[in-house]
Structures are given as structure tokens and as C-alpha cells.
Amino acid sequence: MKQIAVIGAGTMGNGIAHTFAQSGFKVQLIDISETSLERGMSTISKNLDRMIAKKKISEADKKQTLDQITTFTSITDGVKNVDLVVEAATENKELKLKIFKQLDADCPEKTILATNTSSISITEIASVTKRPQMVIGMHFMNPVPIMKLVEIIRGYSTSNEVTETIMELSKTLGKIPTEVNDYPGFVANRILMPMINESIETLYNGVAGVEEIDTVMKLGMAHPMGPLQLADFIGLDVCLSILNVMYDGFKNPKYAPCPLLVNMVMAGKLGVKSGEGFYDYSESRKAEQVSKRFS
């Protein structure tokens, strides 16, 4: 494998593109928005600068990595002659099904089609293609260049050869691939999202406040970040979407999203991306924190 296409230049997409490019692969980064592509490339550049500052790479390594990435606003143009596509678009089932129909039509027959979905059925995504045996899940963790785990999810028809190829490919990226079966939420989110949802229920029921809940989990359970803060970083809309996928898939009330989460998403309080979630990430709040630090 030499040519990789990545669909989506957002947080996950640019991280995946960065990781492949830094490992020596030619990457074709695709997004319908030129602005998103520019923002994604800027993020990759800044993340490489952080690695230079930590003396993990050189300026020459940065240039070489950036030179490996070409951007496209057309899927048709961006997937010509690629060996693998990794789709990292928004966690929306209808959008992913639409993208995979197009990928199946536009990609060479040899191309493996992977999705970075964190919860949506690989089997269902594969069903809209004529190559279900070549469709697989590659669920990277955020931030992609740093986190070692990749969940490798086999659909019902995914071939052994494709699974082995993607497992080995993940290792060449310096990742630790873990094979799991195709059930809603897979492993990571099937365990993580109920914990986040229960944390929100604990807040909703008035058991404790935001900072108190996060403090208990950080100090008592040795979590690097509290579940409510983590939800803000993931995006409350993404958390809601994943919980809905699991609730629809299992029909088990334990996966039903907390009403507080539903209301916050409807109100546009999505976490870091909107400037407010369980915590305040607005510029005025940052200025207040800086002022306190130096007072």
C-alpha cells in the first residue's frame, strides 16, 4: 500500500492524514470545503511544530510529511489509483452510506474501503457497496498522531485477507490494532459512552456538580480527564449520536441518552467546538482565567 485517501479534514481526518503521511504514505486528503482543507492542513502543520519543539522530529521531517499530502474537494478526483480509503466524515449514518456508494463507484476494484466510524454498523455500510468483503472499520482514537489504539472492526462479509492487511498496515503506523466484532459501539464506545451518560445522569439528578463528578473520576479512578470534560472534547452531539446508535441497535434502556444531554445538544451547547458544554470554553472565560493567574 502506497496511496491512501482520507475523506474529511476535520479533527479525525487531519489526524489520520498526518499519521499516514508521517509514516511515508502518499495521502490524498478530501473534503468538500476548501476552508476545511486549509484548516486541516494548518492543524497538521501546528501539530508537527509541537513535535519539533519536543525534539521528536526535525524541520526536514515536517516538510517531508506535508509534501506527502495533496488536497482535493472532489471524491472522484481524490480516490483515483488509491489502495485504501479511510472515511472520517461526520458520525452520521446517512452521510456515510452516501459516501460509500460513491466510493464503490469511483474507486478501483483493488481499493479497500475503511471507515473511522466509532459506532455505526460496518455490515450496514458495506451493504451499499458491491465489495462488502473489502469494507472494514478502522476506528482511530483522538488525537490520532499520539494515541496508539486502532479498533479494527470486521463486517459480516469482511474477508480474512483484508482484515490481516489492515492489521499489519496499522502496525506500520506505530499503532496497536485490536480486532473486534461488529456490534453497536464496538468495544471502546460500548464501555465509554454509558459511563459518560451515567455521569450526566448523576449531574441531572443533583448528586454532585460538574467539577465534583470529574474530580472523583480523576482522583478516585486515575482517569486523566473527567467524563464530563471528556464529553465536551468529544462533542456532546457526537456522544448523543453514538448513544442513539447503541439504543437503536440493542433496544436496551441503559443506552438511552440522558434528557440533560439531549437538551444541551438542542440548545447548541456542544462542548469545546461551540465554546460551551459542561465547561465554559469562551474567550471571555479564558481571559478571566489568565487574569486570575496573574493577579
Fold of 3-181: Rossmann fold (3.40.50)
Is 189 known to be catalytic?
A: yes
Identify the pLDDT of residue 286: 56
pLDDT of residue 283: 73
Task: Classify domain 189-289 by CATH number.
Answer: 1.10.1040.50
Active-site option among 189, 199, 241, 274? 189
- Give pTM, 2 decimals: 0.89
226: annotated binding-site residue?
no
Q: Is 274 a catalytic residue?
A: no
> Does 55 have pLDDT greater than 90?
yes
Q: Has residue 290 got a pLDDT over 60?
A: no
What separation in angstroms does the CA of 196 have from each of 125, 213, 216, 236?
Answer: 26, 11, 13, 10
Question: Any catalytic annotation for residue 223?
Answer: no
% the chain with pLDDT above 90: 94
Q: Is 70 exceeded by the pLDDT of residue 295?
A: no
Question: How high is the pLDDT of residue 287?
Answer: 46
Which member of 36, 116, 151, 170 is catalytic? 151
Residue 288: its pLDDT value, please? 53
pLDDT digits (tens, 9 = 90+) for 137-195: 999 999 999 999 999 999 999 999 999 999 999 999 999 999 999 999 999 999 999 99
Task: Flag whether pLDDT at 200 surpasses 90.
Answer: yes
Cα separation, 264 vs 171, in Å, equals 39
- To the query of whether residue 59 is one of the catalytic residues in this protein, the response is no
pLDDT in tens, 213-235: 999 999 999 999 999 999 999 99
Distance of alpha carbon 201 from the chain centroid:
25
Q: Which residue has the cell 510529511?
A: 65
End-to-end, the C-alpha distance of the chain in Å comes to 56
Task: Catalytic residue, from 14, 87, 139, 197: name it.
Answer: 139
CA distances from 251 to 144, 172, 183, 234 (A): 31, 39, 13, 24
The pLDDT value recorded for residue 243 is: 97
Q: Is 168 annotated as a binding residue?
A: no
Q: Domain spans of the chain?
A: 3-181, 189-289
Mean pLDDT of the chain: 95
